[in-house]
Amino acid sequence: MDHQFGRVKPIASARVASIVLGAAVGIAQAQEPPAAGDLALEEVVVTAQFRQESLQSTPIAITAVSGAQLEARAISNVTDLSAVVPNLLSAQSTHTFGPMSQILLRGVGQFDGHPGFEPGVGVYIDDIYRGLSLGSALTLVDLDRVEVLRGPQGTLSGKNSIGGSIKLFSKKPREQTDGYLSATYGDFNRAELRAAGNFTLVPNKVHVRLSAMSKHVDGYMKRLDYACLHPGSTVPTQIPVTAGCEMGTQGGQDVQGMRVAVRWVGSDTFEDNLILDATRDRSEVPAAKLLFVNNPLIPGGGAQFITGPEDYTTYSTFANLGFTDPARYTTPTAQPGAGTHGAIYLPDTNPTDGYGVSNGFEWRFAENYSFNFITGYRRDSGEYSIFYGGSPYTIQLLHNTWSNRQFTQELRLNGKLGGRVDWTVGGFYYDQQAFFGGLKLLSPGAATETLFTGNDPIPATSKSAFIHAVWHVTPKLSAITGARYTDEEKNYTFERKNPFVPSLPSFTPVGVLDGTTSSYSGNRADYRAGAEYEWTSAFMTYAQWSTGFRGGGVNPRPFIVEQEVPYSPEKMQAFEIGAKTELLDRRLRVNGAVFYNQYKDILFNNTAPTVVGGVVLSANNSTPVNAGDATIKGAELEISARVVGNLQIDAALSYLDFEFTRISAPGATIPGVSLATEEPFAPKRKASIGLSYALALGTFGKLIPRADASFQSKFFTDISNSPDGLVDGRTLVNAHLIWEPPSEDWEADFAVTNVTDKFYYVNKFRVAPPTNITEGQPGRPREWMVAVKRKF
């Protein structure tokens, strides 16, 4: 397929999904159904309550996806989980907030990657908490399973799991041979390699698993030079271009990663798991398309730089061709460094590097008693570029740098009291040293010019102690209780240096912040109480009340001293009722939940000018404030079925309703906020369905056609609910055709993503007046790919 980056109209592509689905159903009708025992759904084991138990007996709304299911549904990144998990929005951030996944569960999370903010959904990798949102667009490699816990997990997961938790578990080394090598080629010069395998160092004692991946995909959004395409225009250019006036692309991916896992089975009573991982990411900045602009810094306002409504093109240059500071900085007395400045060019990639070491030790020192000692250390760093406006004229040009070092330690003691009470007590320690800085050019040359460089240190610590218990009152009835106490603190020191004389503070107003420090500290107690009742071995209901919080902090983006203020934690109380069933000899699984959440001290950014005593102190403002309280109501349903032949059906539905109940005094100053305001990044409705069928071909093996469709309703991306920031609803379809020989040691997969070639937006970002710019992030167009896998 030849993508021209302008709109490529689908030719009969809308029929592809229906052909695949129809073929699957028709084959199902023609096949002799196997025995009922062969149709039973795989039992799913989770560890959400600190011990292994069946998904169907765990009284929490959990979506558990096995590694095989991830592969079958082409889920290769944390953002892809949004297509299959009810009430989960997990989207790649726009270029504004850096290389991260904007993760929200049941309307609660965080969409700004700045290290000064805490995540709202806890992300764990092999039980190690990942404390930074930047770098969270994780590639999923060689996983055993993913567990998504919906609703506040303040007792089970701790801080920053106010919306829920996403837990990734990699495959453990084992004695048996379990290896594979996979290669993929496809559209946009896609080239992927994945490999993993076990080997034994000491029989029955020490096992090792190695896994690695490499992925390259060209960008799908072309950056064009306006002056080259419009000879004779007055628009400047100093950018070298190639044929077609192209300067480069956006949206390309270039990622490599590896993991080494060592499992030591010391005896029947203890084992130790050591994991080392490393990632190198040189992906391009996310695609960004100018949708609206009316800015005084652009001649004519800038509308001439808006490309066709469904073109994958932009005029962003990631450059400033030079500017002169306003006269107030050069006369009557010139400020050091002020004057006329030359061109500045930024990279159009977001390089990220990271590595981690974790160790999990488990000692089962007596019957029904065990001790877990979980240690983790991570270092991550990167850069990302921001260029607002989609035109050759600079509105804001930022080259952000960031790094993070974190150490975590968790202790758990599990036991059983009187044979009827399963209990866990433990403690958690988190130590972080993050830095955030780089070059910031905001409105260069304009009266509101803000220029500075820096590298702000952001140290933080968190300590907690927790207890959790399940009392099996009768063989059918169980009571659940839990509590956690957390104490935390965070400091923020601001560096606002002169970009042209780095030894001095910035000569623009932010210079007064240089060297200042603000702090936040607080503590919090969270609780959980509930009950579950197993009516039969295949039908369980539960009810629970739980709490959670997202940590407080300090405004990381002040422009004046009056904006250098702390903000309080967000808090949540949640009521949930759910049911889990397995019917038709475990061929049909239906899990559902309804919930009512009380969401307090919600955090939103105030972009209104800062006014004190009737005087406007700063027109620039991005201060996080606790804007008020709200209720969130919703329902979720998940279905898995294997009732007709080899036809597998997986479906999910969810509904979400957000309503403000109180607007605080600071919240009332946010433009456009009222009790009728809808929450950003919270689609009301989501639905997904996946169908696959294993067709036996005798001596030729088997053929598995598969189709997955996902629907997501519209949502706003800013608290003002501006129509410019509205992301429309969409339905996307992916299709696969998989072949396996009788030996099952090979596999070939032909796949098409976005089958209907729908032009849609993943995300949008709007800057309010006077900047007055809206940019959108188009999703990837239709792509094909072929993968071949060799199993060992």
Q: What are the pLDDT digits (tens) for 769-780?
A: 888 899 999 999
Distance CA 419, CA 318 (A): 65
Tokens 């009152």 found at: 473
Single out the residue of 511, 417, 509, 419 nearest to residue 467, CA to CA: 417
Residue 282 · residue 351 · CB < 8 Å = yes
Distance CA 510, CA 297 (A): 21
Q: Would you list the DSSP string of 319-377?
A: EE--EE--HHHHSSSPPTT-SEE--EE--SB--EEEEEEEEEEEEEEETTEEEEEEEEE
pLDDT at position 4 is 41
For 405, 478, 545, 578, 614, the CA distances from 59, given in Å and listed in that order, are 35, 10, 11, 8, 54
pLDDT at position 178 is 83
- The answer to whether residue 23 scores a pLDDT higher than 50 is no
Query: What are the residues whose beta carbons fall under 8 Å from the beta carbon of 307, sequence distance 6 or more?
Result: 224, 289, 290, 313, 314, 315
Phi, psi of 146 (to 5 degrees): -125, 135
Band of the pLDDT at 140, cuts 50, 70, 90?
A: confident
Distance CA 467, CA 594 (A): 26
The DSSP letter of residue 163 is: S
pLDDT at position 238 is 62
pLDDT at position 239 is 67
Q: Would you list the DSSP string of 184-221?
A: EEETTTEEEEEEEEEEEEETTTEEEEEEEEEEEE--SE
Segment 363-367 shows an average pLDDT of: 93
Average pLDDT over all residues of the chain: 91
Segment 32-38 shows an average pLDDT of: 45
Maximum Cα–Cα distance for the chain, whole Å? 91
- The answer to whether residue 312 scores a pLDDT higher than 50 is yes
CATH of domain 14-29+45-172+195-791: 2.40.170.20
pLDDT at position 38 is 63
Q: Is 701 left (phi over 0), alpha (psi -120 to 50) or beta?
A: left
Single out the residue of 591, 713, 577 nearest to residue 640, CA to CA: 591
What predicted TM-score, i.e. pTM, was given to this entire model? 0.92
Residue type, 453: T
Segment 621-648 shows an average pLDDT of: 94
Query: Which residue would you say has higher pLDDT here, 356 or 300?
Result: 356
pLDDT at position 26 is 37
Segment 420-447 shows an average pLDDT of: 96
Tokens 């490529």 found at: 8
Q: Enter the tokens of residue 122.
A: 């806890």
Q: Enter the tokens of residue 725.
A: 């920031």
- The answer to whether residue 20 scores a pLDDT higher than 60 is no
Q: Residue-wise over 23-33: b if at least 16 C-beta within 10 A, else e? A: bbeebbeebee
pLDDT tens for each residue of 66-98: 988 888 888 888 999 999 999 999 988 988 888
Single out the residue of 130, 198, 119, 188 nearest to residue 160, CA to CA: 119
Q: Enter the tokens of residue 104.
A: 């929200």
- The answer to whether residue 678 scores a pLDDT higher than 70 is yes
Residue 555 · residue 605 · CB < 8 Å = no
pLDDT at position 552 is 95
Q: Could you give the percent of the chain with pLDDT greater than 90?
A: 79
Q: Residue 28: enclosing H or E segment and its boundaries?
A: helix 14-30
The DSSP letter of residue 300 is: G
Q: Enter the tokens of residue 512.
A: 């007064």
Q: Would you list the DSSP string of 403-469?
A: EEEEEEEEEEEEEEETTTEEEEEEEEEEEEEEEEEEEEEESTTSTT-EEEEEEEEEEEEEEEEEEEE
pLDDT tens for each residue of 575-617: 999 999 999 999 999 999 999 999 999 999 998 889 888 888 8
Q: Is 757 left (phi over 0), alpha (psi -120 to 50) or beta?
A: left
Distance CA 110, CA 706 (A): 33
Q: Residue-wise over 463-480: b if at least 16 C-beta within 10 A, else e? A: bbebebbbbbeeeeebeb
Q: Residue 30: enclosing H or E segment and its boundaries?
A: helix 14-30
Query: What are the residues whose beta carbons fall under 8 Å from the beta carbon of 410, sequence distance 6 or more?
Result: 127, 372, 373, 374, 375, 426, 427, 428, 429
- The answer to whether residue 755 scores a pLDDT higher than 90 is yes
For 109, 162, 517, the CA distances from 463, given in Å and listed in that order, are 21, 17, 22
Distance CA 384, CA 352 (A): 9
Single out the residue of 311, 227, 435, 431 nearest to residue 9, CA to CA: 311
- The answer to whether residue 448 scores a pLDDT higher than 50 is yes
Q: How many CB atoms lie within 10 A of CB 11?
A: 8
Single out the residue of 708, 707, 703, 709 nearest to residue 738, CA to CA: 703
pLDDT at position 626 is 96
Kind of pairing between the strands at 190-202 and 206-217:
antiparallel
Distance CA 258, CA 213 (A): 6
- The answer to whether residue 10 scores a pLDDT higher than 60 is no
Phi, psi of 187 (to 5 degrees): -55, 155
pLDDT tens for each residue of 332-349: 888 999 999 999 999 999
Q: Enter the tokens of residue 199.
A: 């080997």
Report which listed range, 96-105, 206-215, 226-235, is most confident.
Answer: 206-215
Distance CA 501, CA 59 (A): 60
- The answer to whether residue 100 scores a pLDDT higher than 70 is yes
Q: Could you give the percent of the chain with pLDDT greater than 70?
A: 95
Distance CA 223, CA 607 (A): 30
Distance CA 747, CA 572 (A): 46
Q: Residue-wise over 135-156: b if at least 16 C-beta within 10 A, else e? A: bbbbbbbbbebbbbbbbbbbbb
pLDDT tens for each residue of 548-577: 999 999 999 999 999 999 999 999 999 999
* Among 69-78, 415-424, 474-483, the least confident range: 69-78
Segment 150-171 shows an average pLDDT of: 94
